[in-house]
Chains A and B, each alone.
Chain A
Amino acid sequence: MANSIKNEEIRRVLSVIVTNEDGVLSRISGLFAGRGYNIDSLTVAPVPETDFSRLTIVTCGNARVLEQIVKQLHKLIPTYKVIESVEFVEKEMALVKISINEDFNGLDAMLKAYNGTIADSGENFIVVMVADNSKRIANFLKAIKRYNPIEIVRSGSVALDI
């Protein structure tokens, strides 16, 4: 028997289509918690014009764990489909609040590079927004540090297969 050690950690984006009903999120989060699986991020929203919701879960684990995650998700009664994305567009969003007193020199260029915008502003601050893949969001958040962000909010990923 080939009990090969497949221990390499792999990042995986899963889209799970589930019946849009009470408690379905707790079934999924409970499954991950109870079996010791990782959730890097999770987003949920209804699928337009259906009774379904779509969860996008970013997880990681070795090959055996990932296979089990998919099978265990399938096993939940409200699960309609589990899509293991291989080729897909993935976007995540970040909002960053920056004091108006900062020196905004170079901010424009940076936002341009990341396709970002100024989402809103108040008397004392502005809020900038970017949507990109996880890695580029992480880079953006590193770069934005020089403006001493007051607060950063990061969404989970959403993904669509291509």
Chain B
Amino acid sequence: MDLNGSQMVVEALHKESVSVVFGYPGGAIMNVYDEIYKQNYFEHILTRHEQAAIHAADGYARASGKVGVAFVTSGPGFTNAVTGLATAYIDSVPMVVISGQVPISMIGTDAFQEIDAVGISRPCVKHNYLVKDAKDLPRILKEAFYIARSGRPGPVHVDIPKDVTAQIADFTYPDTITMKTYKPTYKGNKRQIKKVVDAIAQADRPILYIGGGAVNSGASELVREFAEFCGIPAVETLMARGVMGDSNPLLMGMVGMHGCYSANMAMSEADLMIAFGPRFDDRVTGKLSEFAKHAKVIHVDIDPSSIGKIVDIDFPIVGDLKNVLTDMLPLVKEKIDSDKYKSWRELLKRYDEIHPLGYNDNKDNIKPQWVIEEVGKILGDDAIISTDVGQHQMWTAQFYPFSRPRQFITSGGLGTMGFGFPAALGVKKAFPDKVSINISGDGSILMNIQELMTASVSKIPVINIILNNGFLGMVRQWQTFFYDKRYASTDLSAMQPDFVKLAESFGGRGFRVETKEEFVKALKEAVKSDAVCLIDVNVDRLEDVLPMVPAGGTLYNMILEHKE
């Protein structure tokens, strides 16, 4: 079948079962938009900024596990997308992003809206393509989707010059694909798996260190089964929140810079660390020479380059966690006796009793942590929670009662302010029946506030809860602790938008909340509303995120008290 390049793009997306895409048009991508206009296969959501289009596709992908798709034009359209690509790449999110490019004949001439897009995206994506001929498009698009979702997932960028989008060639979309140079390892080495089980059987103080790989692998059920059968306590990274389910007594909580006391102590005192798909981020490990000093380390990961990158690994297993656990569980059931770790579990429980995660609630003002707990009480499983970046993000990770993976959508590796709102739009498109909440800050929300328009026009009723502390709070907290309270450029209180009027001017609903009663009322109304909502909650300005391990500090030396 002969098609032009733009028709090929539309057909390929159809073959890949894409149901929604996000994007923003412009000169170089207009041919493709013309074909998008003509088709009925998928819905196109016009965001109001390219960065938001990428984050929306990203939120869609994180919530659903499917490949997110976005379109942008050349030049500034593409450069606006870069933050989104980098955000998705470091968090291993499957996406295909298609950008327009100036015609091939003009590449290299500094043409209008020309930029070396593949040159820029190279370090921010799993792979990228500059399409030189329409005849290559079917293969390239097939590869793009395959690479995005296979192995360790990630974004793939396809840059298509305008003349290629008009060029006619044969379109035969490949059913299957094999690439000589790209073959992820899915099966773990059986002998190594056996050795690992023996190591677990010999350990006295094993700890399960669960990372985002457990979510990507779809292995949560198996991870829970493993933990429960063995009676091994677990900690979750930011990216793994929800894997164990917060009601599980084996879960010590989040680990790392703002991890729970018991979780960080568990890591520090373990004699065996069983790492399922984390990447030993510096926000988790703290000072490396002190990290898990007494532990042998097992690391299961689908990405060989993750293994041994930061710390030496005693038992590496390259493979998909789901497969590895499927092979491991029968051996575990033969050899592991959960009684062996009883005193270890009791020790950690005591740690949790000494310094439980908490805050001092009071009557005079609203504590930000209270808001998150309250959202959890009211919505619990019914909500999917996105966040922006800052204190509100950490409090959400600490205090929301997550019950399943993919319920918490957050920019972990890059820490991108402005991620939450557009991501929540993508979440809502993936799960229209769930409540899609973005917990944000008064700083972050303004970084993609224009998406109020997208939400209103495209009828995507997302609820934004702004924990308004009048500060770039997380930076302010560091200034309090480490810069003698010199609040350089972090006080936002001099002037703030009227968030109620702001929301209303975009056709949404706004709520200003000063008391707990008002918050509960506003949230309940927002859940019922068909409009996009902003709930501006006036919270205690100087609340800190605790515990805190200072950057480069040791995990077992946490700051546990507010600084007066």
Q: Which residues of A contact B (CB under 8 A)?
A: 1-4, 18-19, 22-23, 26-27, 30, 34, 64, 67-68, 71-72, 74-75, 77-80
The segment from B45-53, B221-229, B295-303, B352-360 that touches chain A is B295-303
Q: Does B311 contact A (CB under 8 A)?
A: yes
Contacts of B304 in A (CB 8 A): 71, 74-75
Q: Chain B's nearest CB lies how many Å from the CB of A139?
A: 37
Q: Give the residue name and chain of the B residue nearest to A34 (CB).
A: B123
A-B contact count (CB 8 A): 58
Q: Chain A's nearest CB lies how many Å from the CB of B503?
A: 41
Interface pair B180/A26, CB less than 8 Å apart: no
Contacts of B289 in A (CB 8 A): 3
Q: Chain B's nearest CB lies how many Å from the CB of A30?
A: 5
Q: A23-B130, A77-B179 are in contact. List 10 more A-B contacts (CB 8 A).
A: A1-B291, A1-B293, A2-B312, A3-B293, A27-B122, A64-B308, A68-B309, A77-B127, A77-B147, A77-B181
Contact of A71 among B118, B180, B296, B305 (CB under 8 A): B305
Given the interface pairs A23-B118, A77-B126, A77-B147, the reply to whether A1 lies near B312 with Cβ below 8 Å is yes
Q: Which residues of B contact A (CB under 8 A)?
A: 118-119, 122-123, 126-127, 130, 132, 147, 179-182, 273, 288-289, 291-297, 303-305, 308-309, 311-312, 314
Interface pair A1/B292, CB less than 8 Å apart: yes
Bound Cα distance from A19 to B132, whole angstroms: 16
Interface pair A75/B305, CB less than 8 Å apart: yes
Bound Cα distance from A64 to B312, whole angstroms: 9
Q: Give the residue name and chain of the B residue nearest to A75 (CB).
A: B305
Interface pair B126/A3, CB less than 8 Å apart: no
A-B contact pairs, 26 of them (CB 8 A): A1-B292, A1-B294, A1-B295, A1-B314, A3-B288, A3-B293, A3-B311, A4-B312, A19-B181, A22-B130, A22-B132, A23-B130, A26-B119, A26-B122, A30-B123, A34-B123, A68-B305, A68-B309, A71-B304, A71-B305, A72-B305, A77-B147, A78-B181, A79-B181, A80-B180, A80-B181
Contacts of B311 in A (CB 8 A): 1, 3
Contact of A75 among B303, B312, B314 (CB under 8 A): B303
Q: Chain B's nearest CB lies how many Å from the CB of A22?
A: 7
Contacts of B147 in A (CB 8 A): 77
Bound Cα distance from A69 to B305, whole angstroms: 9
Q: Chain A's nearest CB lies how many Å from the CB of B90?
A: 13
Given the interface pairs A68-B309, A72-B305, the reply to whether A2 lies near B122 with Cβ below 8 Å is no
Interface pair B123/A18, CB less than 8 Å apart: no
Interface pair B305/A30, CB less than 8 Å apart: no
Bound Cα distance from A153 to B467, whole angstroms: 64
Contacts of A19 in B (CB 8 A): 180-181
**Across the A-B interface, the 4 shortest Cβ-Cβ residue pairs:** A71-B305, A77-B127, A80-B181, A77-B182
Q: Chain A's nearest CB lies how many Å from the CB of B14?
A: 25
Q: Give the residue name and chain of the B residue nearest to A35 (CB).
A: B123
